[in-house]
Amino acid sequence: MNDQILRSAFDTHNAGDISLEAARTYVNAAQKRCEADRAAGIAALEDIFCSGGPPAPALDGRYRGELVTITLARGLTRPVESLVARYRPWQGKVFDAAGQRGENVIHPGAIPPARLLWPFYRGYRREGAEARAFTFRTTVGPALRDPKLLVLKLDYNVPANPRLAVSIRRVLDEVVQVADGYYLGKAYVHWYGGGWSLAGYFTLVADESRRPMRADGR
């Protein structure tokens, strides 16, 4: 069934004509394909991503996030995916469209282990039953791997983020809209002494509350 879905065309140049359910079906099929044939699954996700474009209207408020797949070094991908699927430390993002900024929504239980990686980072903030951390700036620009494709870029190279050890400042996300209220993202890491490397794919779905960030980040 997944192969049949992936063999049919997916065109999101007019995302308003694609239902959220249809887009999610294609992404889920590509995710399942990664389990049996990672290269084919990643190629399918890339096709979906390249059919998208900058979110319109601009992202504003809270969006639920889901990891689709991780593309780390061989031997690390599956263990990390298993840990993320079990504990769900990352839960989404919240955007301030007017301020061209945002931050990540994380499970409060992820804060203690995160402090081991970033002991000097003081940006964690509880927000009800969840927490927020790691701010980013938002701009629209050409995709890293396809300059003809315009994407929403989430740049983590801001002073508030950790820059030592596993540097958050070396992270860049790209997000495209693939259906009304449904978005596919790519996470990149800039390795020391090297170039940008794809770290994984994720999705964002408009949260029902869509509560925007306040100007003070709360």
Q: For residue range 14-49, list pLDDT tens digits in order.
A: 445 678 999 999 999 999 999 889 899 999 999 999
With beta carbons less than 8 A apart as the criterion, state whether 105 and 131 touch: yes
Q: What integer is the mean pLDDT of 175-192?
A: 94
With beta carbons less than 8 A apart as the criterion, state whether 137 and 155 touch: yes
Predicted pLDDT of residue 77: 54
Q: How many CB atoms lie within 10 A of CB 4?
A: 8
Distance CA 197, CA 40 (A): 18
Domain boundaries, the chain: 2-206
pLDDT band at 191 (very low <50, low <70, confident <90, very high): confident
Tokens of 176: 């495209």
Instruction: Name the region of 75 (left: φ>0; alpha: ψ -120 to 50; beta: rest).
Output: left
C-alpha triplet 76, 175, 39: angle, nearest 5°: 40
**Exposed e or buried b for every residue in 123-136, given b needs 16+ CB within 10 A?**
bbeebeebbbbbbb
- Say what the pTM is: 0.86
C-alpha triplet 99, 24, 179: angle, nearest 5°: 50
CA distances in angstroms from 82 to 72, 86, 88, 129, listed in the order given: 13, 6, 10, 23
Dihedral angle sign, alpha carbons of residues 24, 99, 159, 124: negative
Q: What integer is the mean pLDDT of 101-118?
A: 93
Dihedral angle sign, alpha carbons of residues 211, 217, 171, 116: negative
